Amino acid sequence: MTALDEDRLAGAVGPRLGTRSGPRHLTGRGRYLGDHPVPDLCHVAIARSSTAHARIISIDTDEAAALPGVVAVVTGSDLEAMGARRFDHLLGPPFRPLTWPVLAIDRVRFVGEPFAAVVATSRAVAEDALEAITAEMEELPPVVGVDAALAPGAPLLYPEWGTNVFLSTENATPGLDQAMAGAPRRLTERFESHRVCGLPIEGHGAQATWDPGAGRLTVLASSQQPHQLRSVIAEICGLDETHVRVISPDIGGGFGNKQHFTREECLIGLLARLTNRPVRWSQDRTEALTASVHARAQIHDVEAGYDTNGRVLALKVRVLSDLGNPVLYFSGAGPAFVTVANLTGGYTIDHIGWSLTCVATTTCPIGAYRGFGQPEAHFTTERVMDLIASDLGLDPTEVRRINLLPDSPRPWRGHGGQRIDVGPLGSQLDLLLERFDYESWRREQAAARDEGRYIGVGVSTLVQGTTPTQNDTAGRFGSLEMAAVTVLPDGRVDVRVGTKSQGQSHDTTFAQVAAGALGIPPELVEVRDGDTDALAYGQGTWGSRSAVMGGGAIIKAAAAVRAKLARVASGLGHVLPSEGSVDLDVYHRVAEVAWWHAHLLPAGVEPGLTASAVYTPGFTGPSPAGGANHDETYGSHATAVAVEVDPATGTVRMLSAVLVSDCGVVINPTIVEGQHQGGFAQGLGIAFLEECKYNDDGQPLSATLLDYTIPTALDVATVQVVHRPTPSQTAGGFRGVGEASIIAAPAVLVSAVEDALRPLGVKLNSTRLHAASIRAAVRATGWKPDAAFWALRLRVPGEL
Amino acid sequence: MTTMSSVVEMVVNARPVRAEVQPRTTLLDFLRDELGLTGTHAGCEQGACGACNVLLDGRVVRACLVLTVAASGSEVTTVEHLGTPDLLHPVQEALWRHHGLQCGYCTPGIVMTAVDLLSRISAPSDAQVREALSGNLCRCTGYAGMVAAIVEAGRTRDEQAGVE
């Protein structure tokens, strides 16, 4: 690293402050959804379909309603009779029209779909009452998987569509077919990103109280986006937004699973109003696994044309996206659109074409999970790079290097209009190979092969869109952020922001951002989020957006406050500089005067030290060439791993993992490293352990944490993070970071495992690296474990 | 379904407790709903995740798998008894310093497991810590910080014991 780089790093990496919320959580003083004492609280249990697809003939709730302790039992029709409105996905053609009731009325379309709810004085009684509800259902044939949905004569979820295809669209650069036809070499493959679930350890939930005098509904929800949830609850419950307050308390993880605006959150609001009692629903683990939000579930049919140097000339991808039952705002089509927009990643692929077919199936709705469509895209592009390297006998890092975006121009305009503003990618790859010690791992690999051991190396060069901004109908889901900054009379700073921390430690990082903008120590700053009554509007935390958007709004508001501080100071005969640290004695004097001694203020300066701001970086929207950029800024992350694979058992041992991170200005390196380590663990879980499975009848086979296993401390290796920040042009110079490592992990792990098993000729075309999947792939090559070796190993455990 | 209640007596966080509970009430629900000790969290209620770990007569258990009536006569320790935000227990302090938590939901269970481990093994190795933590699921951190923290907490305590 040059001296210049060192200087830039020093300014771009902030201090490692401990998290504000740590002590509270470590001592059990957090306040999650279920931790708020409420007098006379009632509990809600939800009756859910046990069949994948059925017509509802009748629902008999009389017996349940008569049980002691039951306050109310409702069906979807009951809710509509009291004025509940239907959800509408709001999207016009090419999307099919779709509305859905809070509770299913005519038909259920997945195991777990809600059709009735009980309010009772205890959760146990509410669950007892579920058993007393009798629903008569006429079973209809299930539709499981994309192929079944597209098969001729397939049963239809929505007969009015005449098909199971919810959306079909395509795009291509001019000359794609000629470029493909003219390419010296071509490959054709099918890749699959399998179905998983974000699965925060605290399940989703909501709690509501109705104030009949004020006509106001207060909903506590474990929601990543309280203000946007307010809009949805107001619409569905028939209230205006000023009469709904949404509070997101401490959240036990979100990961996109708590990003959607769910039927249950609206149901709880309606039930509070109906019963005039406070009510709470805490999702149980089986509901979380079968009836919340699943993710990924895409199949890509890929054709790539390339030259003999490994340069990709044309890429054509047919994306088949399983939506489950798409009764969810933006459903799985949202991530699928992100997938097709990111198929070129950080590479200069001259011609790109894609088609997108999103189908409804009788399974749990597909939607958001950390990464939101980008992991599926990255998996395909990285697989293509590896296969090209394999075909041409080139080093996979060289194939990447020849395809990476050159260092200029910046921003680089992608085919779809992406405004890619990342730092230099070639030198980022160099730094990765150096820190990972790539050459030495290749030597290690060769030596291991001589001993009959299987070591593999995988590399991923990720360019990730962060901080999405939506246009048109989708604009309500993300286009700006709001913050309010107030310096109080005692000099303490009250910061309110519309993002919502779920473990990302915004109370710490945003205090650092505000303190930096005001020139004061972070200890003086207190950050609040997650309450629509505390800040008029906001758009929550998702899509690697909070630092850029929330941080940007805080910087903008703090700048206004700082200007006022300086004006007041100057009236008092002091100077407060516009940059850098301020004199704290002067600062405190100004704070007092601004609020308490208006007569001392300079002429024309109003009392008070407060400002609110709405911020958007302004880099999205139509590109000069007519495309559309949906991400305000981009991050780049280069990752390398080394693994050892046992082909007999299919188990994988992580030997090394290094990630070179460019998320722009680093507010707090400890927290960035925590995001990378945690995201990598989730990506590793997807690859090695997790899958939401269904049988042919549409019955979920992974309904508990004993069937859906997530990584433990025994499964996760430590990722070494190397910071290499390139400031962005957004306020503060930040780029998003939270999703980077989960996007990279499945791609880089599959790459490494396939590399390890290269002597056996194993091919891996899905994100599944479960031991059984690896064993199957190994057996498919005809390789068999040495029986004598295994007989010995089994007879004398522990002696080998 | 039954509503017949039984009387239970136990010591929770060094205070005697006497209450009537239904036979089906789990220790988890009892601690949270009857005693207001909401630091013990419901993660899966299936015994898989460890968010509800507490000490029962000094050994770590899943509160969701223990019926309250079965804990009668026992001594229960929850996370609330181990430290305060201003005066953290050494395990809590180490976890904080090593960024061993993010959302904090699994954290009380992690703390209880670590305290239990350190009561049995004075200075556990990285592998021993990982083995002990394998019954606690964390979705946020990827475990690196918490493993480092517990190893350090054990080593520090060991060193201090040596000095005394």
pTM of the complete model: 0.96
What is residue A8's predicted lDDT score, i.e. its pLDDT?
54
Nearest CA in chain B to A285: B44
pLDDT at B2 over 60: no
pLDDT, tens digit (0-9, with 9 covering 90-100), for B63-76: 999 999 999 999 99
* Cα(B85)–Cα(A234) distance, integer angstroms: 38
* Cα(A79)–Cα(A71) distance, integer angstroms: 15
% of residues, chain B, pLDDT over 90: 93
Answer yes or no: are the C-beta atoms of A272 and A208 closer than 8 Å. Answer: yes
Shortest Cα distance, chain B CAs vs residue A716, angstroms: 6
What is residue B19's predicted lDDT score, i.e. its pLDDT?
97
pLDDT at A53 over 90: yes
What is residue A10's predicted lDDT score, i.e. its pLDDT?
58
Q: Is A255 helix (H, G, I), strand (E, B) or coil?
A: coil
Shortest Cα distance, chain A CAs vs residue B9, angstroms: 22
Q: State the alpha helices, DSSP H only, in A17-137.
A: 22-26, 62-65, 76-81, 123-131
Provide the b/e sequence for A357-375 (b: ≥16 CB within 10 Å): bbbbbbbbbbbbbbbbbbb
The tokens of B135 are what? Answer: 């019954």
What is residue A4's predicted lDDT score, i.e. its pLDDT?
43
Choose the mutation target among B105, B106, B136 for the interface with A, i.e. most A CBs under 10 Å. B105
What is residue B163's predicted lDDT score, i.e. its pLDDT?
56
> Who among B82, B83, B144 is closest to A718 (CB)?
B144
Residue of A217 and A477 predicted with greater confidence = A217
Taking contacts as CB-CB distances below 8 angstroms, the residues of chain A near B38 are: 28, 31-32, 34-35
Report the mean per-residue pLDDT for chain A: 95
Question: Which residue from A664, A258, A261 is spatially nearest to A466, judged by alpha carbons?
Answer: A664
Structure-token match 């069937």, residue found: A707
When pLDDT is cut at 50, 70 and 90, the band that residue A787 belongs to is confident
Q: Does A319 touch chain B (CB under 8 A)?
A: no
Strand partners, B19: B8
What is residue A11's predicted lDDT score, i.e. its pLDDT?
66
pLDDT at A2 over 60: no
- Report the Cα A378 to chain-centroid distance in Å: 15
What is residue A792's predicted lDDT score, i.e. its pLDDT?
67
> Who among A27, A251, A713 is closest to B103 (CB)?
A251
Q: What is the mean pLDDT of residues A54-69?
A: 98
pLDDT at A793 over 70: no
Taking contacts as CB-CB distances below 8 angstroms, the residues of chain A near B51 are: 201
What is residue A579's predicted lDDT score, i.e. its pLDDT?
92
> Phi, psi at residue A80, to the nearest 5°?
-70, -30
* Cα(B50)–Cα(A99) distance, integer angstroms: 39
Nearest CA in chain A to B37: A28
Taking contacts as CB-CB distances below 8 angstroms, the residues of chain B near A25 are: 101, 103-104, 107-108
Lowest-confidence region among A6-20, A362-376, A658-672: A6-20
| Secondary element (H or E) of residue A247 | strand A244-247
> Who among A19, A23, A710 is closest to B137 (CB)?
A710
pLDDT, tens digit (0-9, with 9 covering 90-100), for B91-100: 999 999 999 9
pLDDT at A9 over 80: no
* Cα(A507)–Cα(A3) distance, integer angstroms: 33
When pLDDT is cut at 50, 70 and 90, the band that residue A798 belongs to is very low
CB-CB under 8 Å, B141 with A681: yes
- Domains of chain A in start order, with CATH, are 480-615 (3.30.365.10)
pLDDT at A777 over 50: yes
When pLDDT is cut at 50, 70 and 90, the band that residue A5 belongs to is low
When pLDDT is cut at 50, 70 and 90, the band that residue A330 belongs to is confident
Lowest-confidence region among A69-73, A181-185, A650-654, B154-158: B154-158
Strands A196-197 and A205-211, sheet pairing: unpaired
Q: What is the mean pLDDT of residues A284-304?
A: 98
What is residue A3's predicted lDDT score, i.e. its pLDDT?
42
Answer yes or no: are the C-beta atoms of B50 and B115 closer than 8 Å. Answer: no
Taking contacts as CB-CB distances below 8 angstroms, the residues of chain A near B40 are: 28
Choose the mutation target among A20, A21, A26, A42 for the interface with B, i.e. most B CBs under 10 Å. A26
pLDDT, tens digit (0-9, with 9 covering 90-100), for A721-759: 999 999 999 999 999 999 999 999 999 999 999 999 999
* Cα(A382)–Cα(A396) distance, integer angstroms: 10
- Pick left, alpha or beta for residue A617 (phi over 0 → left; psi -120 to 50 → alpha; otherwise beta): alpha
CB-CB under 8 Å, A680 with B80: no
pLDDT at A475 over 90: no
Q: What is the mean pLDDT of residues A593-599?
A: 97
pLDDT, tens digit (0-9, with 9 covering 90-100), for A530-557: 999 999 999 999 999 999 999 999 999 9
Q: Does A78 touch chain B (CB under 8 A)?
A: no
CB-based contacts of A296: which residues, under 8 Å, 6+ apart? A193, A194, A195, A196, A335, A366, A369, A375, A376, A686, A767
CB-CB under 8 Å, A250 with B103: yes
pLDDT, tens digit (0-9, with 9 covering 90-100), for A69-121: 999 999 999 999 999 999 998 888 899 999 999 999 999 999 999 999 999 99
Shortest Cα distance, chain B CAs vs residue A31, angstroms: 8
Answer yes or no: are the C-beta atoms of A701 and A647 closer than 8 Å. Answer: no
- Domains of chain B in start order, with CATH, are 6-81 (3.10.20.30), 90-163 (1.10.150.120)
Provide the b/e sequence for A555-588 (b: ≥16 CB within 10 Å): bbbbbebbebbbbbbebeebebeeeeebeeebbb
When pLDDT is cut at 50, 70 and 90, the band that residue A794 belongs to is low
Shortest Cα distance, chain B CAs vs residue A129, angstroms: 10
Taking contacts as CB-CB distances below 8 angstroms, the residues of chain B near A127 are: none
What is residue A800's predicted lDDT score, i.e. its pLDDT?
39
CB-CB under 8 Å, A677 with B133: no
Q: Side chain identity at A8, as an amino acid letter?
A: R
Question: Which residue from A204, A203, A202, A57 is spatially nearest to A139, judged by alpha carbons?
Answer: A57
CB-CB under 8 Å, A30 with B39: yes
pLDDT at B43 over 60: yes
* Cα(A469)–Cα(A552) distance, integer angstroms: 14
What is residue A238's predicted lDDT score, i.e. its pLDDT?
97
